[in-house]
Amino acid sequence: MVKRLILVVALLLPLPVAFSQSVERYTIIPRPAQLEPRAGEFSISRTTIIGVSFAQADVKAIVDTFAHHISRSTGLTIPVRNGNKLTLPENLIEFLSSTDTTLGAEGYRIDITDRLVTIEATGPKGFFYAVQTLYQLLPPTTLAASHPIPATNLTTLMIPACRIQDQPRYSYRGLHLDVGRHFFSVAYIKKYLDLMALHKFNTFHWHLTDDQGWRIEIKKYPKLTQIGSQRRETIVGHYDEYDPQVFDGKPYGGFYTQDEVREVVRYAASKYINVVPEIELPGHALAALAAYPELGCNATSYQVATKWGVFDDVFCPTEKTFSFLQDVLTEVIGLFPGKYIHIGGDECPKTVWRKSAFCQQLIKREGLKDENGLQRYFVNRIDKFVTSKGRRIIGWDEILEGNNPSIRLSPNATVMSWRGIKGGIQAARQNHDVIMTPGQFCYLDHFQGDPAQEPTGFGGLLPLAMVYSYNPTPPELSPSEATHILGAQANVWTEYIKTSDQLEYMVWPRAAALAEVVWTPLSQKNYDDFTRRLPVHFERLAALNVNYSRTVYDPSFSAKPTADGKVAITIAASNQVPDIRYTLDGSIPSGESARYGNPLVLDKTTTIRTAAFADRKPLSRPAKVQKEFLVSKATGKPYTLLTAPTTGRPDKNYSLTDGTTGGMGGYEIAGVVSFISDINAVVDLGQSQSVTSVRVGFLKYTARNICLPKQVEISVSDDGKTFTPVLSRKTDAAEGGKRAFVRLPFDFSPTTARYVRIIARNIGRVPSGLRNPGKPAQLMVDEIEIR
């Protein structure tokens, strides 16, 4: 190779100015630390040669893969030549080893002119990440999984000229996948790893065991996969969606053989991704106990869980259990060469331990304070064993609990902080390394938009902007303490994620936002700039057959009653949405539908469907976003509540007559007023007029003790003092089934009135036959209509 001295004398321009001005040319995610735009572009054509030292086998493999993708997307065969024997051609992509230690193991430089592309790094990781950046400088279809283009259709690829110097902010950049609740094939795991690599994630946290399934073959304990990997059926819908709960009656299972695990680990290594296996203990153990019941504290049989949640049955801290876990971990350590083994440690109820004579004797013998101390004892024993094998444990932040001066975690134990950031701060101050993964910012099983419009999620709201806003290093930490923050991780729990399509919908682009959080310098982050890069990145994901979410473009509604009894609807969307189109007739919006400008004023009950467009092409999914708004004689009218709502869900600005219906998804409920007593509301129509019916929207959610009323009474008045009954009807407060908003109609003979009083009688306690009989019942209301 021709040796050339590359002098770095120009200061690289700060990203907020240079990058945002050229975003159409440089749509890289995560955003590089430094990028200097240049005029011109490099053309990959028939004359292009790639140079690399064949002595560097790892780098040569990276280059060969790059050349393969170029060939597949263009039909061009780009020769890869040994850089040590290369004469300088006119059209060269060269990979040069650097001795600049400031780049670190994962850093790189890229210098692109119209004749030369130079990639520098100190080792294979840096070269690998440089190539991921090159892919994102090329057209989005470059990575498409397609057949080679016929030779008659040879094309060129253009790379915009620029200079990049880049390296990650954090050393740990993780993405998690729970395969215990729902299983994903090896082929799909590889696709998951491909997408991780493109976004420069370097750690795959593989959650392999849980109450609902044991997913890894352990040779010494074959029942773990013979029995523990299979559940007899699975709960239907959300955990509380039906009362009583409904199950599908279909056996479900799956596991990875050890050969398949090795295959995944090898494939991940080729992407410079370390795989961290998780073997849950001492809780989330039902699948293991179903296979080997002697590991529990009860002399009973266990079943693999068929629904979600936290279960009381956990590992019993006997010597037999520790021998079992050490055997399991020995095989696991033999399969995973990385330094970390995740041992769980979260959500371990102590009920069984409190009742166990053995556990109580153990607590006394070891001088432990209580069952929390027993958990620390349990974790500490596993920690010592893993450490003795030359590895380090990672545990959820509960492993810090049960502090006992005589029982300490080993100094190399790493804490994964998921219950907010408090555990991470505590661990860092105790000199433990920390991986930040708080649910508020990092749980991708949470909704990313309006729960009523989204697929079933666990609960909680985590929009794209919230993920992007996260800073993993808590400001409360001192500089020395902050060095223990290794990075952050997004978690994907799959209770409600059954398919790869739904998995991708929940993960992308939110994982892309976290990729930028953990790679890009804090000072260079800019959400508006990130969203400007998304459209091209979405094209790239589409070329990779990824079912990404476009919720970031979904329009949202707000409603306000008018003085004359109508409802004014405002529709809003992100700054990246040029046009909002809508329909009022139930049809799906298209590029030819009405364009939203001023608020829409509705004079009758209407369902609005809306979608985001750019140049008449959809950005959001047009069939997705819709909402019904109710208009009646009660709309915008004041009312008096003669019984007080609960403080948790109070009435806000006459929300029962604002025309807006309630919404629900996961554990989320919106747009309701809650009562623990009867509802007694008097609506003032403003003047006497003919009324013939009342409709009230009640929430039926008996799994959460929210029941329909047992009786509804309607009466009317002209003066607001003397009321005449017009209807009294019993309703079915014991109605279970699927949760829903139920609009109960109450029709009566025409009568003239200014005031209408609605009394809904609370059943008092949840009726028998439902999940929580005898518990105090609530009433929840979303809207009152009068016609």
Give pLDDT tens digits for 522-561.
999 999 999 999 999 999 999 999 999 999 999 999 999 9
Tokens of 506: 């929940």
Residue intervals of the chain classified under CATH 2.60.40 are 554-629
CATH entry, 639-786, from 2.60.120.1190, 3.30.559.10, 3.40.50.150, 3.40.50.620? 2.60.120.1190
Specify the domain boundaries for CATH 2.60.120.1190 within the chain: 639-786
In a 13 Å sphere around the CA of 395, the CA atoms on its Cβ side amount to 31
15-166 to CATH, choices 3.20.10.10, 3.40.50.300, 3.40.47.10, 3.30.379.10: 3.30.379.10
Say what angle helices 371-388 and 357-365 make with each other, to 10 degrees. Answer: 70
CB of 190 closer than 8 Å to CB of 268: no
Cβ atoms of residues 350 and 375 within 8 Å: yes
DSSP reduced 3-state for 227 = coil
Rounded to whole angstroms, the Cα distance separating 25 from 136 reads 10
**Given this model, what pLDDT does residue 86 score?**
61
Distances (CA, A) of 443 to 202, 270, 395, 491, 510: 18, 27, 17, 5, 10
Angle at 212 between CA 207 and CA 217, to 5 degrees: 60
Across the range 388-395, mean pLDDT stands at 97
576 confidence band (pLDDT: 50, 70, 90): confident
Catalytic residue (one of 347, 366, 401, 539): 347
DSSP 8-state code for residue 605: -
Whole-prediction pTM value? 0.94
Q: Residue 567, Cβ neighbours under 10 Å: how many?
A: 24
Euclidean distance between CA atoms 560 and 580, whole angstroms? 19
Instruction: From residue 611, give the alpha-carbon distance in Å to each of 411, 586, 746.
Output: 53, 13, 35
Asked whether 614 and 604 are in contact (CB, 8 A), the reply is no
| Three-state DSSP state, 426 | helix
Q: How far is it, in rounded angstroms, from Cα 223 to Cα 461?
A: 39
Looking at the DSSP bridge assignments, the partners of residue 727 are: 714
pLDDT at 12 over 60: no
> Which pLDDT value is given to residue 143?
87
Q: What confidence tens digit (pLDDT) does each residue in 25-73 have?
A: 999 999 999 999 999 999 999 899 999 999 999 999 999 999 998 888 8
What was the pLDDT predicted at 11?
32
DSSP 8-state code for residue 298: S
For 172-520, give the CATH class: alpha beta
CB within 8 Å of 395: residues ≥ 6 apart: 342, 343, 344, 345, 346, 379, 413, 414, 415, 416
In the chain, the N- to C-terminal Cα span, in Å, equals: 86
Among residues 49, 31, 58, the alpha carbon closest in space to that of 137 is found at 31
pLDDT of 10 above 60 = no
* Residue indicated by tokens 């370390």: 274
User: Is the sign of the CA dihedral 96, 100, 103, 109 positive or negative?
Assistant: negative
In total, the chain counts a number of residues equal to 787
Active site residue 90: no
Query: pLDDT grade, residue 3 (50/70/90)?
Result: very low
- The rounded percent of the chain whose pLDDT value lies above 90 is 88
Q: Are 389 and 396 in contact (CB under 8 A)?
A: no
pLDDT for the residue 187: 98
Spatial separation of the C-alpha atoms in residues 521 and 32, rounded to whole Å: 8
CATH assignment of 554-629, among 2.60.40, 3.30.160, 1.10.3470, 1.20.58: 2.60.40
